[in-house]
Each structure stands twice: as C-alpha cells, then as structure tokens.
Amino acid sequence: MERKYYSQQEVKMILQELADGQSVEDLAKRYDISKASIYRWKKRAEKTGAEEINRLKKVDEENQRLKALLAEAALEIQALKEQLKQRGWTKAEDRD
C-alpha cells in the first residue's frame, strides 16, 4: 500500500461516510487506506470534538459571568444616577 496523504476535507468526507453507516472495511478498500488509519482519524476527531465542547463550555461560563458583572454595574450606575438626581445634581449640559 503506497503512502498517501489525505487532506482534512478528504478525512472528514471519509469519516462522514463512516458515520452514515459504511463499514471500515468497505471504506478501507474503496480509498485504499488501512483500517488502522481510519480508526486513528476517528479517534482523533472524537478527541478534538470533546476538546472543542469543553472549550465552548468554558467560554459560555465566562460569558455568563461577564453578563452578570455588566448587569450589576448597570444597576449600580442607575442607582448612583438616582441618588444624584435626588440631591439636586444635574448633568453638565443641563447646567449651562
């Protein structure tokens, strides 16, 4: 079997065919690939998918934390504006 390098697109296409129900043996014969290569690609794709899911969860948690901080800051600003208004302070534009 001659060594051939497959692009990411080709690997994704082959793995998609595997997910669609094609057997590893059939794909190995059709594309002249070793079964071990297909299993290695599949394992790598699963690992990458799990890492991406973990990264997205962390990003989502950080996003929620930042949204909460922003909401808290907005409430604090609004409360301070109301206190200033009660004490008779006006905006700089209004004083002129």
pLDDT, tens digit (0-9, with 9 covering 90-100), for 40-85: 999 999 888 888 888 999 999 999 999 999 999 999 999 999 999 9
**Model-level pTM?**
0.55
Distance CA 62, CA 41 (A): 31
Domain containing 69: what range?
A: 8-88
pLDDT of amino acid 28 = 94
Three-state DSSP at 6 gives: coil
Q: Tell whether 95 is covered by a domain.
A: no
pLDDT of amino acid 4 = 75
1-15, 23-37, 47-61: which range is least confident on average? 1-15
Q: Tell whether 28 is covered by a domain.
A: yes
Q: Tell whether 56 is covered by a domain.
A: yes
Q: Tell whether 93 is covered by a domain.
A: no
Three-state DSSP at 32 gives: coil
